[in-house]
Structure 1
């Protein structure tokens, strides 16, 4: 078989294509790469795709347009060495016999670890204590307390690979986990050890709320003043999903009261302006969208896809296969 790698960015190439990964792929497929640091469009892909059985993509790869699919006479596998495949394919790919898979399971581990880190950083007010120490303020052991994570009620909004990993990572901390999701069944919730509940109920009962929904027309602005007002005093709100899922003005209004805290990795406008109001709030920890930055896991994205292709060749089930139903839940490109 023949595989085309459509990653033109030299930095990504160096990160993803370790010698062991390339050797693994070369053991069962001929491999071709597009030129590095040269513009490679869907039109270019259309001209080349006809002689390949598989294509491995990542950030910056060209989209599989109708013309590309029409000329992909041999293509049976598209493997995306990243998270969402929305930038690579449209729904029409699911009308073909091409298997679509992604390394979202790997990337989800990184984002879940970031969310958990924000839980602890926010619940322990690490940024606040660090800043106050720089100003000469020491802690008061007889008076100070922190929210903490152990034995707290954690509310997760959205159920996918990331929230599944967050649930697993929280197991040692004896937390009670509430989940709001339209896609998790009662049976699966019971198997995960979480309690399904309504959105407003989750905000009302949780000490920490962590957002994990995809950003779609249905979820845009789903978190607003009504939900944020329900958070108890001292609660922590975390967003590692997408900024527009939350009504930012409502979040700013509630945070300005000083009664809740937030730890955020995503925003309405990215990059976030240095003079943004969130940056000046002492009860907010802001990060520059680093959820997928875990170095080891990032290097494993294409290695996972190579393993997926090998499973496909051997007729085995794909671990990262994307179905039409799953695609329709993705954040649009």
Structure 2
């Protein structure tokens, strides 16, 4: 794709993030697409170096750590027309003032969904195979499978419940299709006809929790999703069922989950907690039926380069006068992550 012009652009993110996010080749491409100073990485729009450039900026190339773009910043950036976000959610910096002024917004959330969905698929397959339990037992006893009691192990015809047909949730559904699962979906915005097109059965959240061998949470963090998986729904889950949470810690009533896990009734794969870093005495660190990871399901390492490449593609479309391939729409903003 050849750019028709080179809009003035600015990098806005954590300064130490740039070299991890953008490869030299991608940075070269960005500088060819836009008039941008790769040495200027803005963490505060009110800094003199940023303020001197902001007045001419047409595109903000953002990522984690981008400052809030409110009315005052927009007043200082009268030529701003687009925000290209090389990460997932734009909630932390895009405000109503941006929508009111017709600023176009795009996000690489679709690209960040890829590793989360891959992590989730791996968690589902390993959980149903009871890898944690069997590995621990093998390590402790140095004996083979003859004594382990593996009748309940396996992925054949298990029921997987997906909570939320978000970008991540939909990608998980796609990854599940080749496997011999029955897949249930809870999402109040997905009609039965669309669920059928996705190859799943639409059910209530209560039905999903009560009838799934694995419950995987992919809903956005909103006031109405706080403790979506609460004590009652955790209590309705089958003995031995697995809860996977790669969304946000607030979506699960954590104290109730800890009680169920401590009793050994449920298993869990937990990538997000409340708070984000658990206190040192949290039982979740030591429970043998828990796989606890420090928010690693999303883009890490070289996976971050996919986000920058996706954003560069959108910058190329903007420079060529073409619509964004992955726009963030105001009408959907209130119910997305």
Same fold (TM over 0.5): yes
- 45-54 or 303-312, which moves further after superposition? 45-54
Answer whether contact 2:217 2:245 (CA < 8 A) is retained: yes
**Contiguous gaps of at least 5 residues in structure 1:** none
Change in CA separation of 1:17 and 1:280 when aligned onto 2, cut-off 3 Å: closer
- Aligned mate of 2:13, from 7, 16, 19: 7
Alignment of 1:175-324 (within 5 A): 175-324=181-330
**Contiguous gaps of at least 5 residues in structure 2:** 1-6
- Aligned mate of 1:96, from 92, 95, 101: 101
* CA apart distance, 1:22: 2.1
- Aligned mate of 1:117, from 117, 122, 125: 122
Name the Cα RMSD after superposition. Answer: 1.9
> Match of 1:322, SS?
coil
> Match of 2:269, SS?
strand
- 257-266 or 200-209, which moves further after superposition? 257-266
Answer whether contact 1:8 1:34 (CA < 8 A) is retained: no
Pairing 1:61–2:66 present? yes
Answer whether contact 1:7 1:33 (CA < 8 A) is retained: no
Answer whether contact 2:34 2:319 (CA < 8 A) is retained: no
* CA apart distance, 1:122: 1.9
Partners of 1:150 and 1:120 in 2: CA distance: 10
Aligned counterpart, 1:85: 90
Partners of 1:46 and 1:176 in 2: CA distance: 55
Alignment of 1:140-155 (within 5 A): 140-141=145-146, 143-155=149-161
Pairing 1:130–2:138 present? no
* CA apart distance, 1:67: 0.8
Answer whether contact 2:84 2:106 (CA < 8 A) is retained: yes
Answer whether contact 2:186 2:205 (CA < 8 A) is retained: yes
Answer whether contact 2:14 2:64 (CA < 8 A) is retained: no
- 107-116 or 144-153, which moves further after superposition? 144-153
TM-score (norm 1): 0.92
* CA apart distance, 1:197: 0.8
Q: How many residues are treated as equivalent by the alignment?
A: 328
